[in-house]
Structure 1
Amino acid sequence: MSHSSTTTATAGRTAPGGRRSSAPRAMTRSAALVLVVAIAAVLFVLDQVTKHWAEANLETDSARPLLGELLQLRLLYNSGAAWGMGSGITPVVTILQLAIAAGVVVFAIRAVRSPWYAVTLGLILGGALGNIHDRLLRAPGPFRGWVVDFLVLPHWPVFNVADMGVVSGAILLVLLSILGLPTAPAPDEPARETPAGERR
């Protein structure tokens, strides 16, 4: 291969002057975990703050318009999962949520080096922890606690900020999989220059 061919082959990976191009690169394990934890923490705090606000300002027997009929506010204590499913097996629902949170953490540690996947897992983890907090620490007791919901959409179960995080993260996860983006992008290879006139 001639020098000109080598230059063409490495174009797009190395910018003029020997600098790397701006193509996405893999994060370090520590950086990916920091991003996951930071997003999860912000979402968890936001979820708990809005739940406390809902309990202090909303009623269970009446809806308050927020965006007209599109989005309303109404306090609801949910002992089950979505659409009220699993209301009689709350401890099982709680254990399932704990298992999901643990699986997210293990997956993040072992496989995720992509910022997109780190954001996705942060949303799922933060949402899961927000509802797990309610299951473990709210009445009527540990593993049987009722989750605070207060956001109402037409023809949709009442939900909260934690649910928004989980659903958004799940949608992003599906999109990333469809687009074929890897959980750990390959690191850029260092540029190798071939002296003029040398063939490879």
Structure 2
Amino acid sequence: MSSTPADERRPTPDRRRRLFIVLGVVAVLAFATDQVTKMVALDVLGDGESRPFVGDFIRLKLIGNPGAALSLGAGNTWVMTGIALAVLVAIIVVARQLGSLAWAIALGLLLGAAIGNLTDRFVRPPGGGQGHVVDFIDYNRWFIGNVADIWIVSAACLVVILALLGIGVDGRRDHGRAATAPDATTDQTSAQPTGERSGKTTGETTRETTGETTTNGETHMTQQTDGTPDASETHDARRQGGDHA
């Protein structure tokens, strides 16, 4: 049995280029929607008043968040900035293996959202990497987020689904990866013709039983270890006896 080499199952350069374009477009759209909605929120909600959006369950209230979601790490804004930069680098590294449309969308959402919140760190007061992220969507007073957070959660859900389906960033499933790396012993056995394997096994068994040896393609019968003459010697003796008679 032969298996398809791993290289043949990887996405072609043309497909990978198209997926990079999809990732870039999704990232730009995610970044643009995040920044535009933040500018609108700063203009409309600048008075600090809370306004109903979906009843009282989702309200609009403008705040500046120095930390992460749920205002975690509010006293360590530089740490949040460092984490955002690390996530940005990780996305770029993972994207080098891109071979799946769904992964291109997920990574694009993450990339655009990460750049959106990271932009706030440098352009919003007090700036210099310590700026406050603009949050304005109040989820029933549990926490307040922004559009970038929506894209991050959506991308995370998509990544979980892809992981459950066993689809990797390169577009291959887990069982497909295993098929490209078969056991070495199986390969060596399967690569040998059936006739050769059966003939070799039968021949080795016969030679071990009769004590025959082979030299340059010729087979010689040898005397058994218990001193009993072999078949050829017995036949010669009978012939000699017949001649004397």
TM-score range, shorter chain: 0.7 to 0.9
Q: Identify the range of structure 1 (144-153 vs 28-37) with the bigger mean alpha-carbon deviation.
A: 28-37
Residue number in structure 1 paired with 2:62? 75
The 3-state SS of whatever aligns with 1:158 is strand
TM-score, normalising length: structure 1: 0.76
Root-mean-square deviation (CA, aligned residues, Å) is 1.6
* 1:11-90 → structure 2 map (5 Å cutoff): 26=11, 28-59=15-46, 61-90=48-77
For residue 134 of structure 2, the aligned residue among 148, 151, 172 is: 148
Matched, 1:125 2:111: yes
Residue number in structure 1 paired with 2:87? 100
Post-superposition shift, 1:155? 4.7
Larger radius of gyration between Structure 1 and Structure 2: 2
Question: In 2, are the aligned partners of 1:114 and 1:184 still within 8 Å (CA)?
Answer: yes
TM-score, normalising length: structure 2: 0.63
Question: In 2, are the aligned partners of 1:60 and 1:76 still within 8 Å (CA)?
Answer: no
Residue number in structure 1 paired with 2:229? none
In 2: Cα distance, 1:45 partner to 1:65 partner: 24
Give the fraction of aligned pairs with identical amino acids, expressed as a percent.
39
Post-superposition shift, 1:61? 3.6
In 1: Cα distance, 2:150 partner to 2:76 partner: 23
Q: Deviations over 1:3-37 (max 9, x none)?
A: xxxxxxxxxxxxxxxxxxxxxx9472211111111
Say which structure, 1 or 2, has more relative contact order (CA 8 Å, 6+ apart).
Answer: 1
Q: Which residue identity is paired with 1:157? A: F
Any gaps of 5 or more consecutive residues in structure 2? 1-9, 173-245
Q: Deviations over 1:177-197 (max 9, x none)?
A: 0111232235xxxxxxxxxxx
Any gaps of 5 or more consecutive residues in structure 1? 1-24, 187-200
Residue number in structure 2 paired with 1:167? 153
Residue number in structure 1 paired with 2:78? 91
The structure with the largest helix share of the pair is 2
Question: In 2, are the aligned partners of 1:59 and 1:74 still within 8 Å (CA)?
Answer: no
After TM superposition, the runs of 4+ consecutive aligned structure 1 residues lying more than 3 A away are none
